[in-house]
Amino acid sequence: MRQIILSSLLLLMISMPLAHAATEELDRIAAVVNDDVISLSELNLRTQQIIQQLKESGTSVPSHNQLQRQILERMIAEKIQLEIAKESGITLSEEELNQIVAKLAQDNKLTLTQFRQTLINQGTDYEKFREQIRQEVLINRIKVKQVDNRVSIPSSEVENYLKSSASLDKNNEYHLLHILIALPEAASPKITQEKRQKAESILKQLNSGSDFREMAVAFSDGQQALKGGDLGWRKVGYLPTLFSDEVMKMSANDLSPILRSSSGFHILKLADVRGDKQIVHQVKARHILLSNKSGQSDHQLKERISALLERIKQGEDFSTLARANSDDSGSAAKGGELGWMDPANYVSSFKEMLASLEINEISKPFQSEFGWHIVQLQGRRNYDNSKDVRYNKAYKALTQRKIDEDYQIWLRRLRDEAFVDIRL
C-alpha cells in the first residue's frame, strides 16, 4: 500500500483505529486545562500515533508511563495555545484549510480524492486529520503573533555579531540531537538542584550507552522531544551561543557536558557534520526593456526593440540608448546595468536567454511577461557571497535564535499561569 509522505512544517499526526475500551475508560478525564479538558481517549490515541511514528523512524519507545507524561504535557501546551488563539480572534477558514490539504495531495502526486482514500486505507480518520492540520496552523499563527512578530534585532547587534563571530564563515552544518530539562521561572535552589541531578542522571545513562533519541522522548522538555530531540541540520550561526561554542569542539557522535541556560539544563549529541561551500553563481548583464504597459501592440514593441538592436550593431552606445528608451526605470538610469545577480532571480525567459549567450554577446529581441527586451551578458562568476548576504544571514540567525528562546519562555509562562489539573 502506498504510504503518504507528509513533508510540511505542520506536525501531521496520522490517526489510528482505537482499541475497544470500556465506556467508563473513554469518559475519564486525563487533565483539566483552564476551561477545557483532555480525555483519556484523546491521550491514548495520541500515544498510539507517537508510538507508530517512533517505530517508523527507528527510535526506541520508552516506557508507557514516561511517554504518556511527555505527550500529555504537549497536549496541555497545545490546549493553552489554542485557547489564546481563539481569544485573539485567530481563525482558519475552510477555504484555507482546503488549500493546505490540496497542497499536501499535490506534494504526494495525488488528486485530492486519491489522497483522502489513501489516508483512509492507512487507517486515518480523514476529518480528524483535517482538524489536526487546523490546530497546527492556529498554533503556528498565535506563535507568529505573540513571539515571532515581536522579535526585533537592531542593526548594531547584527554588526557586533559579525565582528565577534566567525561562525557565519564556517562552511559546516551540524546535525544535532537535544535534551532539555526545563526550569520554571524563579526556580528555588532546591528545584534547580533537583533538575540538575536529573540532567546528570540522564547524561550518565547516555555515557553508558543509552539511546539518545529514546531518552529525549522519555525525559526532554524541548519542543522536539517527541521527535527524539532531533533539531535537524543547522549552521553554527543559527544556534544559541551556548550551543555553538560547544558544538565547535565536538566530533560526530560526541555528547556535550550539561549546559545551563535560563531555560534549564541542556545535553547535546552531534549526530553528523557536513560541509557547505556557500558559493553562488552570478551573471552581470544590462538590458533595454520596452514595456507592454505602454499601450503599444506586441508587433510595434518588437519592431522598436529590433530597431534599437540594429542601431547598437551600427555602433551606437548601448548605455545611451538604454537611458533614452528603456522602460525599466531602475536600470535605465544606470545605462541598463543590472549588476551582478543570481540568474535564479530573473523570470524564466530572461534567465534562459542569459544562459544561451557568450560573454559580451547581445541577444536577439525576446519577450517576457514585462514586455520586449534585448540583453547583453557582460560576465559570469562564482562568488562566495557578499557583505549584504553576510549581513542578512547574521540577521536571520539572530532572529531565529531569539524566536526559539522567546518561544520557550512564552510557553513556560503560559503553563505556569494556566490552571492545570492532571488526573492520571
- Say whether 222 sits in a helix, a strand or coil: coil
Taking residue 385's Cβ as centre, other Cβ atoms within 10 Å add up to 14
Give 10-residue mean pLDDT values along the chain (424 residues).
45 38 61 94 91 89 92 95 95 93 91 92 89 94 94 90 64 87 90 94 94 94 92 85 84 92 93 71 95 89 96 96 94 95 92 96 94 96 70 87 92 94 90
**Nearest to 7, CA basis, from 101, 107, 79, 93:** 107
Nearest CA to 84 out of 146, 136, 27 is that of 146
Given this model, what pLDDT does residue 77 score?
95
Q: 270 forms bridges with which residues in the sheet?
A: 176
- What confidence score (pLDDT) does residue 22 get? 41
The pLDDT assigned to 168 comes to 55
Of 120, 264, 99, whose CA–CA distance to 194 is shortest?
264
The residue to which cell 545513562 is assigned: 205
Please state, in angstroms and rounded to a whole number, the distance separating the CA atoms of residues 307 and 291.
15
pLDDT at 14: 36
> Sign of dihedral through CA atoms 201, 206, 209, 210?
positive
- For 127, other C-beta atoms within 10 Å of its C-beta total 9
Cα-based torsion angle of the residue sequence 392, 394, 400, 402 in order, rounded to the nearest 10 degrees: -130
Helices in 147-185 by DSSP H: which ranges? Answer: 155-164
What are the start-end ranges of the H helices in 183-297? Answer: 189-207, 212-219, 241-247
| DSSP code of residue 61 | P
* pLDDT confidence of residue 4: 54
Give pLDDT, residue 186.
83
| Residue 10 main-chain phi, psi, to 5 deg | -75, 145
- Lookup: cell for 97: 484549510
What is the pTM for the complete model shown?
A: 0.55
Between the alpha carbon of residue 27 and those of residues 172, 386, 420, the distances in Å are: 52, 61, 18
Q: Up-side HSE of residue 188: CA atoms within 13 Å toward CB?
A: 3
For 51-160, strand residue ranges (E) read: none
**The pLDDT value given to residue 51:** 93
pLDDT, residue 286, reads 97
What structural domains does the chain harbor?
A: 23-146 (1.10.4030.10), 166-277+402-422 (3.10.50.40), 280-383 (3.10.50.40)
